[in-house]
Chains A and B, each alone.
Chain A
Amino acid sequence: MSTRLATGGRLLNKGKQLRFSFNGKQFTGFEGDTLASALLANDQLMMGRSFKYHRPRGPVASGAEEPNALVNLGKGGQFEPNQRATTTELFNGLTCESQNHWPSLEFDVGAVNNYMTRFFPAGFYYKTFMFPRAAWKHVFEPIVRQSAGLGKVPKDRDADSYEHFYAFVDVVIVGGGVAGLQAAKAAGLSGAKVLLMEQTAHWGGRSMVDGGEVDGQPVSDYVDALVAELEAMENVTLRNRMMGAGVYDHGYVLGYERTRDHTPNAKGPRHRLWRIRAKQIVTATGAIERPLSFAGNDIPGVMLASAIRDYVVDYGVSIGDRTVVVTNNDDAYRTAIAIKQAGLEVPVILDARAGGGGALADAARALGIRVENGKGIAKVKGGKRVTSVAICAQAGEGAVLEEIKCDAVAMSGGWSPVVHLWSHCGGKLTWDDAQAHFRPDPSRPPTSHDGEAFVLVAGSANGYLDLAQGVKDAHEAGKAAAKAAGFTATRKAAPKAAESPEAAMEPVWLMPQGAGPELRIKTWLDYQNDVKVSDVRLAAQEGYESVEHTKRYTTLGMASDQGKLSNINGLATLAGQLNAPIPAVGTTTFRPPYTPISMGSIAGEARGEVFQPLRRTPIHEWHEEQKAFFEPVGHWRRPYCYPRKGESHAEAVKREILQTRNSVGMLDASTLGKIIVKGPDAGKFLDMLYTNMMSNLKPGRCRYGLMCNENGFLMDDGVVARIDENTFLCHTTTGGAEHIHGWMEDWLQCEWWDWQVFTANVTEQYAQIAIVGPNARKVLEKLGGDMDISKEGLTFMGWKDGKIGDFDARAYRISFSGELSYEIAVPASQGRAFWDAILEAGEEFGIMPYGTEALHVMRAEKGFIMIGDETDGTVIPQDLNMQWAISKKKEDFLGKRAQTRPHMASPERWKLVGLETVDGSVIPDGAYAIASGENANGQRNTQGRVTSTYYSPTLDRGIAMGLVYHGPDRMGEVIEFNKVDGGTVEAKIVDPVFYDKDGEKQNV
């Protein structure tokens, strides 16, 4: 039985009872409990089942390293799987369920795997699901998927909110144990800005349980005073419930703050991810106790000695009435003493060391506890909980000397410093033979932007397991961090703590050391993923010598706990099998985060309405009111068409086009890029940027231009207007505005920095509206104003400033549809009013707004190219027969040199033509023109492809443009395009200008 003790429970507020449920059963606990301690207090030792064999699992640990006690926590929008019971603070109304079993925790069908253990060795999946090939998809994968994964996937939208926070400090200290607190004080006294974070809700760490004296007072009193002192320091910030999740380049630290997990109904974000820049980082992350490898070490009731001590001292919970302690070091004696002092039995302490322990062992004996040196556990017996242990000589092969009844086993295989944060950004480790663990190698630290070390380690994370040494080390680390951050370190001496000499630990990687196969196959390394000593040995035998390969082959350390308990034991097992020293085998890579962090915290505010910025024009609201169908263009949302009631999109597009061609339409063209280029060298500059000549453009006139990159490929196009002698306004494509502005700045800043040119991106200063169609002028005339927009007053490819109606307008007489067309720019603040005014003035002509699809179709009817349709980053202007837009006079322009490369100048390139289907249908998007024969890969040869293809309402037939081999020389020839369903469609090669070939309509 695990139960609540009458006394003890340092962290509990017994005055406040909390109700919670586990698998539908109602339980109570106290404020201050973790979910694990509360379940244990209710004798709910079994909390889940393992991943592979579905073995019963109870908690092994009391903190972040816990591999077993994972639950599906919460309900609905607050449901989250794989939550560690040991780090979940209990709150009133908590509901949770155990994981990885069916139909119930007590009776699990999947546990049959357990009896098949011999048939599921390491690499089972790789070896088994190989043949027949087809079986993977239809048999194996569906079954594996069914049984894969630990918790359930959340089904509802996350009801909580999350956020990021950027903080800049001199020194970050991770870990609020006595070492972290001491380091914070030492650093803080220098005046440095210090941020100390602690993952639990409590300060002091292990020292609060383990005891000891600092500066002549009990360590818990010392910690309390230290916390009070730090809280009073203005330059020090203490945050608990905040984990140092990762350390990254240049002093970047992620702090994962669980602000509301313990009070889920309070207002505010559930988690806050701190994105911190620190000059120096001190990791005072403590150490984690290692399990011992003996048969049956995974049976519920077998726990880390320190965890059993924590449950007794912190939560007043006993795991069992009779606890056998097994150890290779002195620390576990503290557990035996704590249990005994709580009034419970310790039938025996099995100390694997032949020489036994030191002063703590004497203290245990003095309490009347039996201590057996040189002994270990041959086997733990029990099913869903421990019933007894069989004792053997550690030196032997497991012959049973005695069987002792017990209901809990406290094991200690020594301590491993938590080196994760040191290692995240490249800190190297050194093997400490005396303590049989890896600790940070101070001579090989992670380095920052200045080439200097930026991470320090303090206390037991640094291998100083003794309180006195740890406090001293932390004080020095705090001072060193402040100094490295540019402050004068305090001259205050480190506090003095009483040393408590302990007998040396002795590494025990297998218990008993000569355990045979029968025992090894029941000896667990990784509890969550079910990796045993036998699996790692098998991997080594099969040739997996690299620890990284062994990890992946056996899945050791790949569970959600990332091997916090299993890695060193597994590594030692591998090293033993390879007959290599442990440091020669090395560790796997430590990667952030230290423990899993929520997806919500990573997303931060980026969800719902602010998932991604949507760019809106000044007229966007109107489009929304009209229920326009939008399409994304970059981050803009542009109306694709404006369907009326009962109308399909195709019908809407057709209506919009016909009305525009026959009377007048209007388009919100505000998204088009607009860049001002000004200066004495502006003309010269634009001559370099565009393939055609811009410097000879007259003020008041517009010219269409092409821009290529240095590879010669067409990059952007648009109309350039010359405003005055020194000033041009360059229109770009909607998607190209920021890029082209950056492109201009790049050349001006980095290549021609002596040219006198300034640019400004004024895209959003204007709402730009195109008024298009035979009645366009009449609409503008009706609006009035002081601008002469008559045929002669504003000729094709001219522009003018003035008033249209009341509006401050710049009118460009340009056309992307072939119709009489004006594009009018007004200040964005007047955009919506101007739009409304046009609508009103155009009413008598039946003016209709049209969307991007009508725009596309109308330009295709005219054979105008569209960047992104006719171009794809491999097309040069010559491919599009646009030699007319490439100046022959200019010595140089961007892309000119590339266009003379042999492949660019080749007559074999596919060139632009118009395509008319023989049957009038529409060629599918992206269709290829097929040619006879096959290529080396057995694919049909091709001779061209479609770049734009539409139904043309104006011509009532399918029209297309495409790039075709020798296309312009093959006018009238019929070629075949493939269709999605496998058939082909015949199309005749024609001139790409389908409508108004002579351009008469735009010149009226």
Chain B
Amino acid sequence: MSNVVSALNGVSRSGIAVVEETGLRGMVTVRGDLASKAMGKALKDVIGAGVPEVRQISSGDKGAVAWMSPDELLVICDHGAADEVVAALNAALAGAHVLVVNVSDARAVFKVSGQSARDVIAKVAPVDLAPEAFEVGMMRRTRFAQVPAAFWMNANESFEVICFRSVAQYVFDLLAVASAEGSEVGFFN
């Protein structure tokens, strides 16, 4: 497909942090028994990552796996690979009671990076963003102001944020306001 577009066409804004839409990302919702051996093996085989601990995100050579709820994971991969991941996981988990579905296009992905990235997230989410409380490898589902969202850190001073595609513009505007020039809070450093 040629005209495949993300919600906001890769828009970006820079202030006390850089906020950018990362473009399309493959995402697959997996619901099932997270403790089962089959699940662990399927993820290892398909993504190269293990089942993450509660509120963690694990990564492998073909993507990452985020803990969403006690019976739900979100597999993150290349956009073009999502359908293959669905097929591979379905095949690997054949016979088990699971739901594997491509949700790549249901969401938008943003990156918030820079020295004040923690400040920006802490302005919109009721979550402790102190370095000792939130670090690389953690995953948090919460709300960003008025909409549900989730985020994790992919590096120091760099967050990835996902939200529903329909509110991508709202979340971008929100993050842009929260990262306006001169709005450093300075609480985390």
What is the interface of chain A, defined by CB distance below 8 A to chain B?
Answer: 161, 163-168, 193, 237, 266-269, 272, 275, 277, 604-606, 609-610, 612-618, 635-636, 676, 678-680, 756, 758-760, 762-766, 806-808, 827-830, 832-833, 836
- Interface positions of B from 130 to 160, Cβ below 8 Å from A: 130, 133, 145-147
Cβ of B127 within 8 Å of any chain A Cβ, yes or no, is: yes
A764 is contacted by which of B107, B130, B181, B182 (Cβ under 8 Å)? B107
- What's the least CB distance linking B151 to chain A, in Å? 13
- Mark B residues whose CB is within 8 Å of A: 1-7, 24, 29, 31-32, 71, 79, 97-99, 101-107, 119, 122-130, 133, 145-147, 164-170, 173-174, 177-178, 180-185, 187
Are B97 and A830 in contact, with the CB atoms below 8 A?
no
Q: List 14 A-B contacts (CB under 8 A).
A: A163-B178, A166-B122, A267-B180, A610-B145, A610-B170, A618-B5, A758-B31, A758-B71, A760-B31, A762-B106, A764-B106, A806-B1, A829-B5, A832-B3
User: Which residues of chain A are within 8 angstroms of B168 by Cβ–Cβ distance?
Assistant: 616
CA distance A95 to B105 in the complex (A): 53
Asked if A165 and B123 sit within 8 Å, CB to CB, the answer is yes
Q: Given contact pairs A163-B178, A760-B101, enumerate 16 new A-B contacts (beta carbons under 8 Å).
A: A161-B183, A165-B123, A166-B125, A166-B127, A168-B130, A268-B180, A269-B183, A605-B174, A613-B146, A614-B167, A616-B169, A636-B166, A679-B97, A764-B164, A830-B4, A832-B3
A161-B177, A610-B174 are contacts. A237–B164 as well, Cβ < 8 Å? no
Residue of B nearest to A766 (CB): B105
Contact between B103 and A605, CB atoms less than 8 A apart = no
For B99, B164, B174, which residue has the most chain A Cβ atoms within 10 angstroms? B99
Structural contact, A829 and B6, CB atoms closer than 8 A? yes
Cα distance A636–B165 in the bound complex, in angstroms: 12
Task: List the B side residues contacting A636 at CB < 8 Å.
Answer: 166
In the complex, what residues of B have CB within 8 A of residue A806's CB?
1-2
From B1, B98, B102, name the one whose CB has the most chain A CB atoms within 10 angstroms.
Answer: B1
- B103 and A760 contacting across the interface, CB-CB below 8 Å: yes
CA distance A275 to B165 in the complex (A): 28
A204 to chain B, nearest CB (A): 22
Q: Find out whether the CB atom of B130 lies under 8 angstroms from the CB atom of A762.
A: no
Cα(A680)–Cα(B97), bound, Å: 8
Task: Given A167-B122, A610-B174, A765-B106, answer yes or no on A758-B97 (Cβ-Cβ < 8 Å).
Answer: yes
Q: Which residues of A contact B125 (CB under 8 A)?
A: 166
Minimal Cβ-Cβ distance residue in B for A836: B3
CB nearest to B183 among chain A residues: A268
Partner of A828, one of B31, B165, B170: B165
How many residue pairs between the two chains, A and B, have CB atoms under 8 Å in the bound complex? 150
Q: Do residues A830 and B146 form an inter-chain contact, with CB atoms below 8 A?
A: no
- Taking a contact as CB atoms under 8 Å apart, the answer to whether B178 and A605 are in contact is yes
Given contacts A275-B126, A676-B99, A760-B99, contact A267 B181 (CB under 8 A): yes
- Is the pair A168, B133 in contact by a Cβ cutoff of 8 Å? yes
Provide the bound-state CA to CA distance between A680 and B96, in Å: 10
| Bound CA span A612–B171, Å | 11
The answer to whether B146 touches A606, judged by C-beta atoms less than 8 angstroms apart, is: yes
B180 touches A760 (CB 8 A): no
Q: How far is the CA of A795 from the CA of B161 in the complex (A)?
A: 43
Q: A166-B123, A167-B122, A606-B146 are in contact. Are A827 and B166 (CB under 8 A)?
A: no
Docked CA distance A584–B148 (Å): 50
Which of A166, A193, A268, A807: most chain B CB closer than 10 A? A166
Residue of B nearest to A239 (CB): B187
Residue in A605, A807, A808, A830 whose beta carbon sits within 8 Å of that of B145 in the complex: A605
Quick one: which of B5, B180, B187 contacts A167, CB cutoff 8 A? B187
Q: Which residues of B contact A163 (CB under 8 A)?
A: 123, 177-178, 183
In the complex, A164 Cα to B119 Cα: how many Å? 10
Q: Tell me which of A167, A269, A272, A828 contacts B105 (CB under 8 A).
A: A828
Given A636-B166, A758-B71, A827-B105, A613:B98 Cβ within 8 A = no
Query: Within the complex, what minimum Cβ distance (angstroms) separates B119 from chain A?
Result: 8
Smallest CB–CB gap between B135 and chain A, Å? 15
- How many whole Å from A888's CB to the nearest CB in chain B? 31
Given contacts A610-B177, A616-B166, whether A679 and B99 have CB atoms under 8 Å apart is: yes
Question: Which residues from chain B contact A168 at a C-beta distance below 8 Å?
Answer: 128, 130, 133
Closest Cβ neighbor of B122 among chain A residues: A166
A676 touches B122 (CB 8 A): no
Q: Which residues of A contact B31 (CB under 8 A)?
A: 758, 760
Cβ contacts under 8 Å, B123 to chain A: 163-166, 605
Contact B180 A606 (CB under 8 A): no
Given A605-B145, A618-B165, A765-B103, decide whether A830 and B3 contact each other with a Cβ distance below 8 A: yes
A163 to B128, CA, bound (A): 17
Pick the contact of A269 from B1, B124, B180 — CB < 8 Å?
B180
Nearest first, the 5 closest Cβ-Cβ pairs linking A and B are A267-B182, A268-B182, A833-B3, A828-B105, A615-B166
Inside 8 A of B29's CB, which chain A residues have their CB? 760
Q: Is the CB of B98 within 8 A of A268?
A: no
Residues of B within 8 A of A610 (CB): 145, 170, 173-174, 177
With both beta carbons as reference points, the residue of chain B lying nearest to A837 in the complex is identified as B3
Please state if B99 and A828 are interface contacts (CB–CB under 8 Å). no
B181 touches A268 (CB 8 A): yes
Residues of B with C-beta under 8 A to A614: 167, 169-170
Q: Is the CB of B122 within 8 A of A762?
A: no
Q: Are B103 and A827 in contact (CB under 8 A)?
A: no
Residues of chain A within 8 A (CB-CB) of B103 are: 760, 762, 765
A269–B123 Cα distance when bound, in Å, is 12
A808 cross-chain contacts in B, Cβ below 8 A: 1
Name the residue on B nearest A680 (C-beta): B97
Taking the closest CB of chain A, its distance from the CB of B184, in whole angstroms, is 8
Minimum Cβ distance to chain B for residue A769 (Å): 14
Query: A235: shortest Cβ distance to chain B, in Å?
Result: 10
Q: How far is the CB of B115 from chain A (nearest CB, A)?
A: 15
Q: Tell me which residues across on chain A come within 8 A of B101, comparing CB atoms.
A: 676, 760, 762, 765
Nearest CB on B from A731, distance (A): 15
**Residues of the B chain whose Cβ atoms lie less than 8 Å from the Cβ of A832:** 3, 5
Chain A min CB distance to B86 (Å): 12
When the two chains form the complex, which single residue of A613, A679, A765 contacts B147, counting CB atoms closer than 8 Å? A613
Task: Please tell me if the beta carbons of A678 and B146 are within 8 angstroms of each other in the complex.
Answer: no
Q: Are A807 and B147 in contact, CB atoms less than 8 angstroms apart?
A: no
Distance (whole angstroms) from the CB of A836 to the closest CB of chain B: 8
Report how far A168 CA is from B185 CA in the complex, Å: 14
B122 A605 Cβ-Cβ under 8 A: no
Interface centre among A165, A267, A275 (most CB of B within 10 A): A165
Is B180's CB under 8 angstroms from A678's CB? no
With CB as the reference atom, state the residue of chain A lying closest to B29: A760
CA distance A57 to B34 in the complex (A): 71
Give A234 to B2 CA distance when docked, in angstroms. Answer: 53
**Complex-state Cα separation, A604 to B178, whole angstroms:** 10
Min CB distance, B141 to chain A, in Å?
14
Answer whether A165 and B122 are a contact pair too, CB < 8 Å, given A758-B71, A830-B4: yes
Contacts A166-B123, A168-B133, A828-B106; is A613 near B3 (CB within 8 Å)? no
With A163-B178, A764-B106 as known contacts, state yes or no: A237 contacts B145, CB within 8 Å: no
Give complex CA distance A240, B24 in Å: 44
What are the residues of chain A within 8 A of B183 when measuring CB–CB? 161, 163, 267-269
